[in-house]
Structure 1
Amino acid sequence: MSIEVGSKLQGKVTGITHFGAFVELPGGSTGLVHISEVADNYVKDINEVLKVGDEVLVKVVNVEQDGKIGLSIRKAQDRPDRPDRPERPARPSRPEGSGRPSRPFNSQRPNRPQGGGRGPRPNQARPTVSFEDKMSRFLKDSEERISTLKRQTESKRGGRGARRG
């Protein structure tokens, strides 16, 4: 008997693995039902759904050149077609002058400088800052951050007296 893609056949489960079940088809050939094709819902353990010796209706999904046969139990089940989803309602348009201004997604904002507002403008010269000035500014910022963190952690511990040794 020739096995064709799309045909529905009755088979017998001959083996179960963690990734699927082997089903013996009429004519002596064997195909694999992958665990994702056993049921419509998620199957964590195939042993909860199938047992060796079960008779199942399968649909032939594919037949590879090397003789491997892909099967599906869930596609073999006749279910009524789901009704099409109704169209999504269109978003109501905003009246002019309310909410955010309408502009193209990638257009430039009129009141912001180019480059995201960071650093000097492209046509302006950058003031030269010495390494020592940069270092002193960094140290000042760093000390402020550390003192803020210390104050926050001490308040969470209940103050200076709550330290454990």
Structure 2
Amino acid sequence: MTLMAGNILEGTVVNITNFGAFVEVEGKTGLVHISEVADSFVKDIRLHLKEQDKVKVKVISIDDNGKISLSIKQANIRKKSVKPAEFDWNSDKKANNANNFEDIMSRFLKESEEKLQDVKKHQDLKGGKGYSKRNFG
């Protein structure tokens, strides 16, 4: 298989640095940046890889100078099957949640109405709908 962006190949780790690992693929060496080693945060790459390890890599890009960017984590992504959630429509819990929701909404509406009435009373006591410019400047 040729080296092209998007291809998944097997390579050998030839050197490890603090910022990544150099992997030989089809006679050429590319870099797997430390951020492309695993799905989780990698502080010490040596805990994940060692020299001469055989790894599956995805070719991310090849720039005009021939630098090859590789990824181990993108090569190992498996298609996850999406299963529909199991849902029990007859559960009493669901009925309680619906009642709880109705109670919450009723309380919210009541409190909102009370607050709105307080604001209106406060505005009436202040003498009108708004403030005049002379009060601000």
When normalised by structure 1's length, the TM-score is 0.54
| Structure 2 portions without partners, runs of 5+ | 86-100, 114-118
Structure 1 residues 26-60: Cα deviation after superposition (integer angstroms, max 9, x where no partner): 1x211110111111111110011111111111011
Partner of 2:48: 49
Q: How far, CA to CA, are the matches of 1:54 and 1:46 in structure 2?
A: 13
Aligned residues: 107
> Aligned pair in 2 of structure 1 residues 6, 122: CA closer, same or farther (>3 Å)?
same
Task: Work out the percentage of aligned pairs sharing the same amino acid.
Answer: 41
> Aligned pair in 2 of structure 1 residues 76, 97: CA closer, same or farther (>3 Å)?
closer
Tell me which protein shows more strand as a share of its residues. Answer: 2
Partner of 2:21: 21
| Structure 1 portions without partners, runs of 5+ | 87-91, 102-108, 114-119, 127-165
Partner of 1:100: 112
Give the root-mean-square deviation of aligned CA atoms.
Answer: 3.0
When normalised by structure 2's length, the TM-score is 0.63
Q: 4+ runs of 1 displaced by more than 6 Å?
A: none
Bigger-Rg structure (1/2): 1
Partner of 1:146: none
Residue type at the aligned position of 1:62: S
Partner of 1:66: 65
- Give the CA deviation at 1:23: 0.3
Report the secondary structure of 2:110's partner residue: coil
Q: How far, CA to CA, are the matches of 2:42 and 2:72 in structure 1?
A: 13
Q: How far, CA to CA, are the matches of 1:125 and 1:20 in structure 2?
A: 62
Partner of 1:3: 3
Residue type at the aligned position of 2:36: E
